[in-house]
Amino acid sequence: CKWLYHALALFVQMRPTLSCQIYCTGDLLKQVQLARLFSDDKHFVDMPLRESPELVLKKFQDLVNVTPGGMLSKVQLGQFVNSSFSDPGQEFEQWEPQDWTNSPQILAKISDQKLQAWASDLNTKWKSLGRKIKDDIRIRPMFYSQIYVPHPLMVPGGRFIEYYYWDSYWVIKGLLLSEMAATAKGMIQNFLYLVERYGHIPNGGRVYYLRRSQPPLLTMMMDAYLAHANDTEFLRENIHLLEAEYEFWQKNRSVSITIGGRSHALNHYSVQVGEPRPESYSKDWELAAGLNEDTRQELWAELKSAAESGWDFSSRWFLSWPPPLPATLKDTKASAVVPVDLNAFLCKTEHLLALFHRLLGNASKAAEFQAALERRLEAVQAVFWNEAAGVWLDYNLLKKQQNQAFYPSNLAPLWTDCFSDLAAAERAVQYLEGSTVMSYKNGLPTSLARTGQQWDLPNAWPPLQHMVIAGLAKSNSSRAKEVAFSLAQNWVRTNFALYEKYQAMFEKYNVDGDGKPGTGGEYQVQEGFGWTNGVILQLLDLYGNRLTSGSPSFSSWAWIAAACIISLV
């Protein structure tokens, strides 16, 4: 009986890998995606199966076998997809969070009436972003690309009809401010479930995302939840899974850098899977046109590594950068970059794991993570710190040098307390003010390079604004605090102005002109939007009594001018 049970369990676990033969790799995926049946490649890989994967694969093989050359026509593929797959977007049911409240305390902290009404709208948006995975995904996982998780969750919105890893950090912070601790806890439980099952957290909730992760923020999610709910038991039950996720990054994503005769261990994004991304298959295929087999496999692995960083895509990962060398997406070499932000996140993870173990009474484990933290601090200082620039800079393993370009991620160590120099925040302010980035009044741009990629100028992204603002705000420097506030004010005004104009919150914003929804990259800008709402709620929490919804409009300036003239006359 026990034997049967184990065989059955193993069988059930094997089944989702079978669906991966359809959604992640193989001839069926290739033929369908290269036929471009749908305008967005993500459409196909999100379609559930009408029949078992064995049967679908067999039917496809039978068709291939009777077709000279084995390549089906677009019409044949269309008919095949119609008969074997159903429409995407069916794995979730709408779900209204039980812990939602219409008057969380944060609202009372906001002085500006318009901002207060807006925050109330954002609080209400959680109801439309809430989803619960249907039970059929648990019972018949092999019919879906969606990966089952047990608890309800928030999706980002728009095109993204599954959960994402790093987005969820800002969503969870927002949920906690909306006093929805049970929903936040459920989302953390989902990620812990994924670590238990796969040993790491996939980029997003689809089997085709399984081979890559995203910026590791799980332990920071736990910390945010614990700061809100004193749930030590939850921590005790799950600390081994937080450690397991950390171990994944240490085992699978480590690099060694030797500087001045000393070796330092740090981490990078690296996905050594030399195939097109299933959800952007035809684009990756096209990009690699004309390359030989080795080079194109390498390019595809690098695109996936860049996707793992969350910054897909950006000049930050281009090898032949900065100009005058010509650089395009084809120059992506993300695994050669040792990123400041990734190491800042892991630094915080080590710090928190030491703290958590101390809290739970395991002194030896606490000491182990404390030692890891100290090694990290030393490595961050030695590899990333640039004394002349007064900031941390990404390190390139191939060029054996730092990348001098501006990215908001250069300031990430301030946010995660990964430094020991007390003057670091002051230096960071000088760094910002010494560059042109402060002249953009609609938000900090992602870089100063206009490449058409979405993680570059002119786009500005909510999580990057938050990291920089929160990092400066918590310092002891009054100058840094002032800059943090003015960045927050800029960001809030832009988001609010566009909310008034479109009644929508966007995934990213364009800092040009008066501010616009973001542009560029691989798809249309998406509306919703989980992390955007989470960041605004956090800024309103931080500065609710000071932020205002808009600068005085032209007409009010005209009134003031008229009043002055009249009084002078």
Contact assessment for residue 257 and residue 396, using Cβ atoms and an 8 Å cutoff: no
CA 435-513-556 angle, 5° bins: 110
CB 216 within 8 A of CB 416: no
Burial string for 333-372 (b: 16+ CB within 10 Å, else e) reads bbbbbbbbbbbbbbbbbbbbbbbbbeeeeeeebbebbbeb
Structure tokens given for 373: 């933290």
In the complex, minimum distance from the CB of residue 289 to ligand NAG, in angstroms, rounded to a whole number: 27
**Candidates 78-86, 276-284, 343-351, 429-437 — which segment interacts with ligand NAG by CB under 6 A?**
78-86
Residue 230 is a binding residue for ligand NAG (CB under 6 A): yes
SS (H, E, C) 412-431: HHHHCCCCCCCCHHHHHHHH
Residues 202 and 179: their CA atoms lie apart, in Å, by 27
422 sits near ligand NAG (criterion: CB under 6 A): yes
First to last CA, the chain: 100
Shortest separation between residue 48's beta carbon and ligand NAG, angstroms: 15
Amino acid in position 476: N
**Residue 445: which of 410, 481, 396 has the closest Cα?**
410
Specify the 3-state DSSP secondary structure of 133. Answer: strand
By CB under 6 A, residue 553 contacts ligand NAG: no
Give the containing element (helix H, strand E) for 64. helix 53-66
In the bound complex, what is the minimum distance in angstroms from residue 477's beta carbon to ligand NAG?
8
Q: Which of residues 250-279 bind ligand NAG (CB under 6 A)?
A: 252
Q: How far is the CB of 94 from ligand NAG (least distance, A)?
A: 24
Shortest reach from residue 213's CB to ligand NAG, in Å: 7
Q: Is 490 in the site for ligand NAG (CB under 6 A)?
A: no
- Could you say whether residue 550 binds ligand NAG (CB under 6 A)? no
For residue 348, report the phi and psi dihedrals to the nearest 5 degrees. -65, -40
Query: Annotated catalytic residue: which of 243, 312, 341, 456?
Result: 312
- d(C-alpha 469, C-alpha 482), whole Å: 10
Q: Which amino acid is at 65?
A: N
- Which residue's beta carbon is nearest to the bound ligand NAG? 78
Query: Cα separation of 148 and 161, whole Å?
Result: 13
What residues from 162 to 201 belong to the interface with ligand NAG (CB under 6 A)?
A: 200
- Per CB under 6 A, contacts with ligand NAG among 340-369 are 361-362, 364-365
Cα–Cα distance for residue pair 336/14, rounded to 1 Å: 34
Q: Is 78 in the site for ligand NAG (CB under 6 A)?
A: yes
Total site size for ligand NAG, rule CB under 6 A: 16
Quick one: tokens of 386?
């640039």
Please state the closest distance from residue 470 (CB atom) to ligand NAG, in A: 12
Question: Known catalytic residue: 312?
Answer: yes
Q: Does 232 bind ligand NAG (CB under 6 A)?
A: yes
Largest Cα–Cα distance of the chain, in whole Å? Answer: 100
Identify residue 373 by its one-letter amino acid code. L
**The one segment of 77-85, 259-267, 277-285, 371-379 that binds ligand NAG by CB under 6 A:** 77-85
Q: Which stretch binds ligand NAG (CB under 6 A): 71-79, 259-267, 279-287, 380-388?
A: 71-79
Q: Does 236 bind ligand NAG (CB under 6 A)?
A: no
Whichever of 283 and 365 has its CB closer to ligand NAG, that residue is 365
196 flagged as catalytic: no
Give the nearer residue to ligand NAG in terms of CB position, either 308 or 456. 308
Question: Closest distance between ligand NAG and the C-beta of residue 450, in Å?
Answer: 33
Among 67, 111, 256, 476, binds ligand NAG (CB under 6 A): 476
Q: Quick one: three-class SS letters along 533-547?
A: HHHHHHHHHHHCCCC
Measure the CA–CA gap between 393 and 461, rounded to whole angstroms. Answer: 19
Among the listed residues 33, 238, 332, 475, the single contact to ligand NAG using CB under 6 A: 475
Which residues are annotated as catalytic? 312, 507
Query: By the criterion CB under 6 A, which residues form the site for ligand NAG?
Result: 75, 78-79, 82, 200, 211, 230, 232, 252, 361-362, 364-365, 422, 475-476
